[in-house]
Amino acid sequence: MTLDRKIIPKPNKQSRFLLPKIIEFKIGEFLNVHFVQKNNLPIVRFGLISDVGSTIDPNGKKGLANLFSMLIDEGAGKFDSMQLKEQFQILGTNLSIGASKDSCSFSFLTLKENFDRSLELLNLILNEPNFKEDEFKKEKDKLLTGIQQIKDSPDDIADLAFDSLIFNNTSSYSYPTSGYAENVESITLDDVKNFYKSIFLQSSINIVVVGDIAKEELENKIRKFITPWKSTIKKKSKNIFVVDTKTKIYFADKKESVQSEIRVGHITCKRNETDFYSNALLNTILGGQFSSRINLNLREDKGYTYGAHSGFNYYKNAGYFYVTTSVEGKFTSAAIKEILFEMKKIKKGVTEEELTFAKSSIIKRFPLNFETYGQIASNLTNKIEHNLSISYYNNYVKNISNVDNQMIKNSAENFIRPDNAVIMVVGDKKNILPQLEDLNKYEVIEVDNYGKIQK
């Protein structure tokens, strides 16, 4: 058979994708379980999510939730830190613990035959942590070292300063989960113990399970091995409202840096207060994929960067739009102009061709989000954090397909605001600052590595 390379081959028929069935149930009054049965392999992924994260850190103790998450598995019950790690290693169980802005999470992946013992060990960590002084000092030093290393990374500086500035240095979302060095220095072991007893053990808990186990068996094992606790903290939802300040440029000096890190963006709304589906398509066209307007402009047309992208990021009680890129220093001001140009231009609308391509891209990628145990668990966690309905994923493709051009235009008008943006730049002051001052339309303000204004 001769292959005619002048003729584009017809695509294969799209295979039918079946979403995994999500099962939800409660154990007692306080344990909410979200479960997907996946029998491909004799593996179970278990996750426990507490709804307290770094946003609940008290003033002067920023980094407390994160330090708690680092310390809690450094010994529990009769096991010291090394012995506890060995117990998990014997089972081949990968344990992961971490804090984010809105939660603390505990998860492990293990063979089904080791699920019982892994649950038992996790329960020991949750209910009988040792909290030894020597382990506390070790983890605290490790955290302080990580914070100290931030100053060596222009990328990290740009991200941290940008987060702080878009939330106006006042919101609980404006500071890093890792905290500030001076705050972490002041945290004591008693602070961690108090966080555990007074906050963590009073929080709301969700359990996420994906794996080779039946619902009844899972329910019995959770009842047997996980000691529930009463949720007594009634957290009030405090939304972060949009502050319409004029666009300003903020600059942090990184001496001898050849590149400039650029972040442009602003607060939007929490996820369920936006038209999420039209925002997803809008962003795909603007900066969310390789063929997006911003990337084609800055990379393909101008040659300023190896890549630029944009996105909407949603926390539990806040959201923001961002553009991120790294450019050769001499192109800094030109790149900023082009980013703002594209943000303004998209308000005029998109073409049918762009919309069709964006829909196809999102819909074709959608099944890839449910391939692994971790991906399925992540989607369940996303559903929990943003209080999405159990039918959310089943209706996702239909809702994307139903977005039209006018909906995209409405989203651009409401959620892309180039005249109210934070522009964060990190680069070599002697080379970059004169460029920025040439952008005389915008005030230029020097800040430190965390976005605090230099006086």
Q: What is the DSSP string of 211-231?
A: ES--HHHHHHHHHHH------
- Which residues make Cβ contacts (< 8 Å) with residue 407, sequence separation at least 6? 275, 278
Per-residue model confidence (pLDDT) at position 272: 81
Q: Cα(211)–Cα(108) distance, rounded to whole angstroms?
A: 12
Per-residue model confidence (pLDDT) at position 245: 84
Per-residue model confidence (pLDDT) at position 237: 53
Report the CATH number of the 248-446 domain.
3.30.830.10
Report CA 422 to chain centroid distance, whole Å: 20
Superfamily for domain range 23-225:
Metalloenzyme, LuxS/M16 peptidase-like (3.30.830.10)
What pTM does this model have?
A: 0.91
Per-residue model confidence (pLDDT) at position 46: 99
- pLDDT tens digits, one per residue of 399-433: 999 999 999 999 999 999 999 999 999 999 999 99
Check residue 137 and give left, alpha or beta (phi > 0: left; psi -120 to 50: alpha).
Answer: alpha
Per-residue model confidence (pLDDT) at position 26: 94
Element holding 155 (H helix, E strand): helix 154-166
Per-residue model confidence (pLDDT) at position 18: 78
Per-residue model confidence (pLDDT) at position 240: 60
Determine the 3-state secondary structure of 95 from DSSP. strand
Per-residue model confidence (pLDDT) at position 239: 56
Angle, CA of 204, 32 and 394, to the nearest 5°: 120
- pLDDT tens digits, one per residue of 114-169: 999 999 999 999 999 999 999 999 999 999 999 999 999 999 999 999 999 999 88
Handedness of CA 121, 125, 130, 136 (dihedral sign): positive
The DSSP bridge partners found for residue 32 are 26, 206
Please identify every stretch of the chain with a pLDDT value under 70, giving residue numbers as ranges. 1-16, 232-244, 455
Determine the 3-state secondary structure of 360 from DSSP. helix
CATH 3.30.830.10 boundaries in the chain? 23-225, 248-446
